[in-house]
Amino acid sequence: MPVTGYLIVSALLFTIGAMGVLVRRNPLVMFMSIELMLNAVNLSFMAFAHFLNSVDGWMFVFLVLVVAAAEVVVGLAIIVSIFRTRHEIDVDELNMLKG
Amino acid sequence: MTLQVIAFFVLATVAVASALGVISFRNPIYSMLSLILNLVSLAFFFLMLEAIFIATIQILIYAGAVMVLFLFVVTMLTPEGGGISGPDRLRWQWGAGVGLGIILAGGLIIALLNGSLAADAKTAGLNGLSQAVAHFGNTEAFGQALFHGFTFPFEVTGVLLVIAVLGAVVMSRRFVRE
CATH of the domain at A71: 1.10.287.3510
Q: pLDDT tens digit string along B49-81?
A: 888 889 999 999 988 888 998 888 888 887 766
For helices B28-48 and B3-24, angle between their N-to-C axes, nearest 10 degrees: 160
Q: pLDDT tens digit string along A14-40?
A: 999 999 998 888 888 999 999 999 999
User: Could you tell me the end-to-end alpha-carbon distance of chain B, in angstroms, rounded to an integer?
Assistant: 71
- pLDDT of A46 over the 60 cut: yes
Task: Supply angle C-alpha B54, A16, A49, rounded to 5.
Answer: 30
- Confidence band, pLDDT 50/70/90 cuts, at residue B146: confident
Residue B150 forms contact with A (CB below 8 Å): yes
Per the document, the length of chain A is 99
Residue A97 lies in a domain: no
Q: What is the mean pLDDT of residues B15-44?
A: 92
| Cβ–Cβ gap B54/A62 under 8 Å | yes
Residue A80 lies in a domain: yes
Q: What is the ipTM of this complex?
A: 0.91
Query: In a mutagenesis test of the B interface, which of A3, A9, A81 is the best target, namely the one with the most B β-carbons within 10 Å?
Result: A9
- Confidence band, pLDDT 50/70/90 cuts, at residue A98: low
Chain A residues with CB under 8 Å of B126 CB are 54
> Domain tally for chain A?
1
Distance from chain centroid for Cα B128: 26
Chain B residues with CB under 8 Å of A81 CB are 171-172
Domain housing A37: 3-86
**In the prediction, which pLDDT does B116 show?**
52
| Cβ–Cβ gap B100/A46 under 8 Å | no
Shortest Cα–Cα distance, B3 to chain A (Å): 11
